[in-house]
Structure 1
Amino acid sequence: MQDRDKVLIVDDEQAIVELMGLYLRSDYEVIPAYSGKEALDKVKSEKPDIILLDVMMPDMNGYEVCRVLKTSVETQFLPVVMVTALSGKDDRIKGIEVGADEFLGKPVNRLELVTRVRSLLRIKHLQDKILAERNEAMNYLDVAGFIVFVIDNDMKIHLVNSKGNDVLGYGEFELIGHDFINLLVPEEERTNLREKFSKALEGQDELPEFIELPAITKDGNEIPMRWYDTLLKDNNGNVTGILRSGEDLSKFQ
């Protein structure tokens, strides 16, 4: 039997938690929480698939909880539905700013609740599948021995495989969001490489077949590398970044 999706319902009013739980219990495993801090604890211990989160709670409000979840690498893709009696535009904007995925007004309509939960879980399962496929592909690249980066149009590191972290001396998520060129390229080569990347991203030039350029490790040492760069494009042909794979040349010296 397939495991049922877990729905974490967070509200400081027990009656509301029980009512929403009643609406969802036939299709999902319902997990109750009655404060913001308890919600964060339950996220760690229960690993829910979606959260229905009250805004107005005394110890830690829903906005604060949502911000914590959406700024954590482990929970950034966890769907959060803000459930609130507040109806002002500013309140909704504040929810969007902290990363809320959807909104439900109080009193909660049963059909609307069930529909929103089902829709968001469908999206989450698709995201999980994509991430699993990406991780599997990265594992193959690790076995092949290549360092792999995905760099966005602003030269920020969007993804790095474990081989890259290991060779350069960084933790699993340490490099994410940093400027690849400023952090990992020798200072005297930065301007030239940034210009090459910028022209390629803008369609003004092509990337070279390969380039030999050292990478700077976390402790400041340089590792000789041979890099292979490929432009990444979306389904419409728009350039979204660069796939940069590198071979550590020090093992041949």
Structure 2
Amino acid sequence: MRDRDKVLIVDDEQAIVELMGLYLKSEYDVIPAYSGQEALDKVKSEKPDIILLDVMMPDMNGYEVCRVLKTSVETQFLPVVMVTALSGKDDRIKGIEVGADEFLGKPVNRLELVTRVKSLLRIKHLQDKVLAERNEAMNYVDVAGFIIFVIDRDMKINLVNSKGNDILGYGEFELIGHDFSTFLVPDGIRDEIKATFEGAMDGNSHLPELIEHPVLSKEGKEVPVRWYDVVLKDNHGNVTGILCSGEDLSKFL
């Protein structure tokens, strides 16, 4: 049987925390917090599945808390519902800019609260399932011994497996967001590799079946790699990036 989802309710007014907790406690485990910093501490210690976050708090407001959560790799997919008496357009835009997933007005309507929480948790569970399946697939790839990169249309690294990080000497998330060609490809072949990738993503040329070229480790050392690259497309046939599978050749030298 699956454990009950945890809902973190954050508000500097205890009565509001208790009221929302009363609405939700029959279906969820409710965790209270009464300040922004306490909310961040509870996220680390309690691992909630969703946060109901007051905007107007004295020490650290809800926008600041949400920004911290949404810029952290560990909590970026944690659903955050901003609960506020503010109703202006600018207030909602500010919430969207810091990554809020939903908004609830005060006083909170019980049916609306329960519906929003249930809907966001359903989405979160689907995301968790996809991430778990991806991680399982990546584990199989690591066992096979290949370096894996996923590069988007802007040449940014969206994903790298642990084998790639290990061989190049990087931590788990250090390479994410960096430009593949300027960050990892040596100067002498950088323009050529970039032109090859961009041509393939624009549909003007095809990727070679395989190509051998080095990439740079964190220490600046060239690591020889045999690459098997494939263009990635979405369900509508639009190119989304390139999957780069590489075999480390240094072990043969």
- Tell me the TM-score range normalised by the shorter chain: over 0.9
Partners of 1:115 and 1:123 in 2: how far apart? 13
Partners of 1:198 and 1:221 in 2: how far apart? 25
Partners of 1:232 and 1:39 in 2: how far apart? 39
1:134 corresponds to = 134
1:63 corresponds to = 63
SS for the counterpart of 1:207 is coil
SS for the counterpart of 1:148 is strand
Letter in 2 for 1:40: L
What do residues 35-77 of structure 1 show as CA deviations (whole Å, max 9, x unaligned)?
0000000000000000000000000000000000000000000
Q: How does 1:2-41 map to 2 (within 5 A)?
A: 2-41=2-41
1:164 corresponds to = 164
2:204 corresponds to = 204
SS for the counterpart of 1:206 is coil
Letter in 2 for 1:51: I
Partners of 1:200 and 1:87 in 2: how far apart? 47
Letter in 1 for 2:192: N
Q: Cα distance, 1:6 vs. partner?
A: 0.3
- Structure 1 residue ranges without an equivalent (≥5): none
Partners of 2:215 and 2:2 in 1: how far apart? 46
What do residues 205-231 of structure 1 show as CA deviations (whole Å, max 9, x unaligned)?
111101100010000100111011011
1:145 corresponds to = 145
Partners of 1:25 and 1:185 in 2: how far apart? 54
Letter in 1 for 2:40: L
Partners of 2:37 and 2:219 in 1: how far apart? 38
Aligned length: 253
SS for the counterpart of 1:133 is helix
SS for the counterpart of 1:135 is helix
What do residues 116-159 of structure 1 show as CA deviations (whole Å, max 9, x unaligned)?
00000000000000000000010001000000001000000000
Percent identity of the aligned residues?
A: 82
Letter in 2 for 1:72: S
Partners of 1:10 and 1:177 in 2: how far apart? 32
2:51 corresponds to = 51
Partners of 2:4 and 2:179 in 1: how far apart? 41
Partners of 2:177 and 2:219 in 1: how far apart? 19
Q: How does 1:57-96 map to 2 (within 5 A)?
A: 57-96=57-96
1:124 corresponds to = 124
Partners of 2:216 and 2:40 in 1: how far apart? 37
Partners of 1:35 and 1:229 in 2: how far apart? 49
SS for the counterpart of 1:192 is helix
2:239 corresponds to = 239
2:115 corresponds to = 115
What do residues 149-198 of structure 1 show as CA deviations (whole Å, max 9, x unaligned)?
01000000000000000000000100000001101101111111111111
RMSD: 0.5
Letter in 2 for 1:211: I
SS for the counterpart of 2:232 is strand
Q: Cα distance, 1:2 vs. partner?
A: 2.0
Letter in 2 for 1:165: N
SS for the counterpart of 2:219 is coil
Q: TM-score, normalised by structure 2?
A: 0.99
Partners of 1:100 and 1:230 in 2: how far apart? 35
Q: TM-score, normalised by structure 1?
A: 0.99
Letter in 2 for 1:10: V
Partners of 1:208 and 1:229 in 2: how far apart? 8
